[in-house]
Amino acid sequence: MPGPRQGNRRRSPGPKAKPQRAKQAPPANKQHVNKIEREAALETQPENPNGFEIVSKIHLSLQQLLLDVFKTALLSNQAPAESTPASPDAESSESQSEDKKDEPLDMKSLIQTIKGLLYQRDFDSAFTEAGEDLLRAYALRWSASRSLGYAGLLKGVLSWMKEEEENTRGRSRTSSNKCTRVVCIGGGAGAEIVALAAAWRDLGHGAESLEDGVASVSLEDTENKEENMPEIEGAAGPSLSVAAVDIADWSKIVDRLSRTITSAEVPFPQTTRYRSPLLPLSGNDFSVSFRRDDVLTMPEEDLREVFMGAPSATPFSSILVPIMFTLNELFSTSMPKTTGFLLRMTEILPAGAILLVVDSPGSYSTLKLGKGPDGEPQERNYPMKFLLDHTLLSVAKGKWERVYTEESRWWRRDDKRLKYEVGEGAGLEDMRFQMHVYRRL
């Protein structure tokens, strides 16, 4: 499992305390345990008072292009230039562009180093003090898989936000600024950025409405029918301003990925529907920025600028704040500071802003209560979702509504058709997660 990003803070070593559970007879084997967990996850029903499905599909060939962006941007020591000519043949393009002096990363060694540091809970060495090669290896190993899972989720959320805005304001009403602000807390490793680019690419070419969304993250596609269909050119749409905030210095990784998103050097098969660049360089409809900072200690003025932009800027038409596999780590780092951050964010964000929280199912944080009568330290475990709901729906009562929640969900890759060869130990993984969507009132 990947380590934390925004929560890359040194904490006391040792395993996390686990909540007490009733003893039961052990299952026959590990495969049986995995089967039970999978079946339980599939049986979990989302709490969905508005009756919509918030996760959408991403075409398999677009998923492949997303992976190729990671590979092209990070595996080689030299990142591609923006918007340069590309060969339609993936294999010939790779062989022609290969520079003998430009050796790829030693992924096996770097991944072993990262895993060792994470096992020792040395987050400073793994992230905040890590060199560029180590961060590139982390993004190749973990961010690429997560980005695949994020893409359909973010596409569905953005599509739903657009519909909600149209229904509220009326389709005939125009705005002086049709730019959506997306602030990725702990998003320096690039998974959210590339996923947003893929979602934006898909939304710009006839996205499904929210009512037509699928009931799960699906890799099934209509590839046989759609493979040779041309994309719609010149599709107009609002712009997206993506800001990633992280405590570690991911600036070089973000820069590599941002340039590769708009680069035609990313190889693609001749028959694919989705060709590079992932997004065109021309126009300003998709922009990315990175800020190295700690959201738990950031001054009020700086935090406001992260969410709302410069004071002189035109207000954004809508705001989305994804906190992906980061919030529980923040709570574990400091429950009071994280609660304070959520409350400060509440006061800054305007009505209609959307908060998207994705994390591991069953995540919990430990609150230290001091010493008991026997002198032993006392602790209490709280589920992340409980802490989140308590902060937003009780402490900040009347300022948020929960529009979607799901305790456990699987995203599964198509391991037979997706190709991602970036070195030993860097294969793709399925992703199990919980997700919650809140709207500022």
CA–CA distance, 436 with 434 (Å, rounded to integer) = 7
Q: Which residues of the chain have pLDDT under 50?
A: 10-26, 28, 33, 36-43, 84-88, 90-97, 99-101, 172, 205-236
The CATH H-level superfamily of 48-440 is: Vaccinia Virus protein VP39 (3.40.50.150)
- 277: preceding bond cis by omega (within 30 degrees): yes
> Alpha-carbon distance 309 to 6, whole Å?
20
What residues have CB less than 8 Å from 25, skipping those under 6 apart? none
Going from N- to C-terminal start, the domains of the chain cover: 48-440
Q: Is residue 4 a contact partner of residue 122, using CB atoms and an 8 Å limit?
A: no
pLDDT for position 230 = 46
Close Cβ partners of 198 (under 8 Å, ≥ 6 residues apart): 58, 62, 63, 65, 66, 147, 151, 155, 278
Q: What is the pLDDT of residue 283?
A: 66
Give 348-414 as a DSSP string: HSPTT-EEEEEE-TT-EEEEEEEE-TTS-EEEEEEEHHHHHHIIIIIITTTSEEEEEEEEEEEE---
Q: What angle do CA 413, 59, 323 make, to 5 degrees?
A: 65
User: pLDDT tens digits, residue range 151-205?
Assistant: 999 999 999 999 988 887 665 455 567 899 999 999 999 999 999 999 999 998 3
User: What is residue 150's predicted lDDT score, i.e. its pLDDT?
Assistant: 98
Identify the residue whose tokens are 């799960």: 216
Spatial strand order in the sheet of 286-292: 286-292, 240-246, 180-185, 318-324, 354-359, 431-440, 400-411
Encoded amino acid at 3, one letter: G
Task: Using the structure block, give the residue that is written with the tokens 């995540």.
Answer: 363
Residue 4, pLDDT score: 53
Give this prediction's pTM.
0.79
Closest CA to 244 of 279, 316, 195, 201: 195
What pLDDT shows up at residue 209?
A: 33
pLDDT at 79: 75
Look at residue 46 in the predicted model and tell me its pLDDT: 67
Q: Are 331 and 387 in contact (CB under 8 A)?
A: yes
d(CA 367, CA 294): 21
Give pLDDT, residue 390: 97
Sorted by sequence, the CB contacts under 8 Å of residue 396 that are 6+ apart come out as: 342, 343, 346
